[in-house]
Amino acid sequence: MKNFQLFVAEHTRRILGQLQSPDLAQEEQRAGLIKGPPAASMLRQTHDLDVSAAEIVAGENYVFPTPEGAGRVDWCVMLRSDVAVSPNKVLFELMGRLRAELDTHAFLSASFQAFFGREIDPIGLANYVQMLQAGQITRHELFKILLSSQEGRERTQRFLLIPEPSSWLAAFNVAPDASATFPRFSVRT
């Protein structure tokens, strides 16, 4: 159990960019997860984010809706930090972005890497590709399915997913690809 916890902690630090190796960076770039800034970058502003419009998935994950008529959007994937803002607020920092232009296979691969830290299995890939391409589910709905799955509920990481562009990010003057200045968000629990 201790080795697993160490693996999860190391993988989380790598995803956040603290121990990033060139091979890992290239692998993540190919997978379609465009990384955000290192967690050690404490100069960014922290803003309170109203999550009343977000759906709470599996207890502590927040998924904002896709803006009406937006089509495919990029998704800002934010990871809950261990840093406590206050007893009733948690902090989320940018982990990376899932790009709208990714094809279905690449999007699924990047989503599994972001949420589970692993490659998608062949059966899951075939099933989700079929459902996405047939329009049975949207990418937004896929996130909710993955986060509420048994594997998603068993993970200790918690996520905040915000479509980009959206009014939730526009309120903070967040420009696309501005990861060096991307704000952190505190959320009231």
pLDDT score, position 175:
57
Express each pLDDT in 23-62 by its tens digit.
444 444 444 555 554 444 444 678 888 899 999 999 889 9
Express each pLDDT in 80-138 by its tens digit.
988 777 888 889 988 888 999 999 999 999 999 999 999 999 999 999 999 999 999 99
Stated pTM of the model: 0.73
pLDDT score, position 166:
82
pLDDT score, position 174:
61
pLDDT score, position 173:
65
Domain of residue 7: give its range. Answer: 2-188
DSSP annotation of 138: -
Amino acid letter for position 90? V
Counting Cβ atoms within 10 Å, is residue 112 exposed (0-12), middle (13-18) or buried (19+)?
Answer: buried
The structural domain count of the chain equals 1
Element of type H or E holding 107: helix 104-116
